[in-house]
Chains A and B, each alone.
Chain A
Amino acid sequence: MDATGIHERLKARFEVGVGECNSTAKDPCITIDPAAIAAVCRFLHDDPDLRFDCLSNQSGVDYKAKEQIQVVYHLYSYPHRHRIVLKVDVPRETPALPTVEGVWKAANWMEREIFDLLGVTFDGHSDLRRLLMPEDWIGHPLRKDFVEPEEYHGINTSRESLLR
């Protein structure tokens, strides 16, 4: 099923929460409201005509100029061999949205990574801890305004100290 068809199915099923569909993009995408994302994903996963059984990729992008963080879901269906991209915009100050871990287990670690690197909170996540950075790290490195700390546990991190 193509992006327009998937969008129509979603529109018919959900009265609110399903936004615009960009079907001319290289990877056609649908914008979803944060509050609706878990229910939309559940529907996309379970519906026999859609059967998006694979969360191929989940990532976050910091759009600082728009004061938004966008969480992007690349979905793929092994039975139907079709794909769709979902995009959820959350405010940069208080980024929070429901987890989709209950739909795809793969989301567990991907959401932990987004939490770690971009500071997005996933409500209902079973184990929302940092994944890649040290537990006591301050800040979220993939944010556009992240400033590298000058030292970490007494280790100087400046370029000058490394080149000396």
Chain B
Amino acid sequence: MSLSGFEVEVQRQGHAGLETEEMTLNMGPQHPSTHGVLRFVIKADGEVMREAIPDVGYLHRSIEKISEKVGYHGFMPYTDRVDYVAAMFCNQGWSMACERLAGIEVPKRGEYCRVIAAELNRISSHLLFLGTMILDIGAMTPFFHTFREREKINDLLEELCGARLTYNYMRIGGVAWDLPPNFAERTLEFLDALEPALDEHNDLISYNKIYVERLANIAVIPPDLAINYNLVGPNLRGSGVHYDIRRDEPYSVYPDLEFDVPIGTGEVGTVGDCFDRYIVRVHEIKQSVRILRQCFQQMPTGAVIAKVPRKFKPPAGEAYVRIESARGDMGWYAVSDGSEFPYRCKIRTGSFSAMSIIDRVSPGLMIADLVALISSLDVVAPEVDR
């Protein structure tokens, strides 16, 4: 049959016999791009997805229930496990919730120690993001570069608190230890080396044509949708919403520090696409470097922790605190009944809302782009499941 004959045939019969069938695919729970243990049920027509339904809960360790059994101080190491890629923020969120419940003021030097630890952790978390995101897209080499830098932060933090991932560094009322000798010099030395390494990273991959084309205009999340789904942090800023808790609802010593809040501008595609979410984090690393340099200059001497009784019994009441973690606005809701055990602790994390939006954004994407979407949202599965 000639080509025109075929077209006549299609017109006569309609598309009968030519339609494709919907496939149901399983992705995960153990898949390298799912960043933890997480499963998707994908309904696809060929390579195009109709739906990607996340199935979470594989890493549910009932951390909120544990809080009701171990007491306020005793819960601190458990908070590390909420988000083990950025555990400092979980430490900080829990301490701040307790301090708000009991009305404790943290000594100035303690606050600076917290910010230094947290910003170092933000850089290490973002470096992990950059490496794994590029790895998911299919480029291997930059992963080693970012992990090389991240190792140096792990070394620094290990020196600070003895652990490389689950820090257990902060305490209610301050931090466990002051900075070790020469910590400032070694950190500044690292920061001096990090900036050129980051420029090298940008030259190597960020604006690489193939990489940009994999990300530009993919999985665009408009700002109003992002807010409606309670997307937070770099994901929200990637959608062009100029908002950062550190600047707009300041806590700790952030009001004394100068930094910019980078947002997605759609520089290679549309505002809110995968590339914007990626590049926002690259810029945030530079801002964290700025913050760290100021911290070491401004830091006063003195105590690092307030006097807090060993048997910590905050008055009955409740407190909700929000901090800007590496994955954005993290909410800690603590309820006290006046006893030495928390009555309830609820942790609302950035990955939780990011995961819930995948269902909405995925229809019409190629299956390969789902991988780009998941990694661009910087989802960490333990933080979803807690």
Contact = CB atoms under 8 A, between A and B. Distances in A.
A133 B227 contact: no
B contacts with A: majority SS: mixed
Contacts of A131: 56-57
B364 interface: no
A159 interface: no
Nearest to B224: A53
A57 B57 contact: no
A42 interface: no
A105 B357 CA distance: 9
Interface in B204-248: 224-225, 227-230, 241, 243, 248
Contacts of B56: 131-132
B65 A141 contact: yes
A40 interface: no
A104 interface: yes
Interface string A22-35: 00011100000000
Given A25-B317, A78-B227, A61 B344 contact: yes
Interface stretch (B80-88, B176-184, B328-336): B328-336
A124 to B, nearest CB: 17
B93 to A, nearest CB: 12
Contacts of A141: 62, 65
A59 B353 contact: no
A26 B317 contact: yes
Given A26-B100, A57-B331, A106 B57 contact: no
A106 B64 contact: no
Interface string A50-62: 0001111101011
Interface of B: 56-57, 60, 62, 64-65, 100-101, 224-225, 227-230, 241, 243, 248-249, 317-320, 322, 329, 331, 333, 335, 343-344, 346, 348, 352-353, 355-357, 360, 385-386
Given A105-B229, A109-B356, 6 more contacts: A27-B319, A54-B227, A55-B230, A57-B346, A105-B228, A132-B56
Interface of A: 25-27, 53-57, 59, 61-62, 72, 74, 78, 81, 85, 104-106, 108-110, 117, 130-134, 141-142
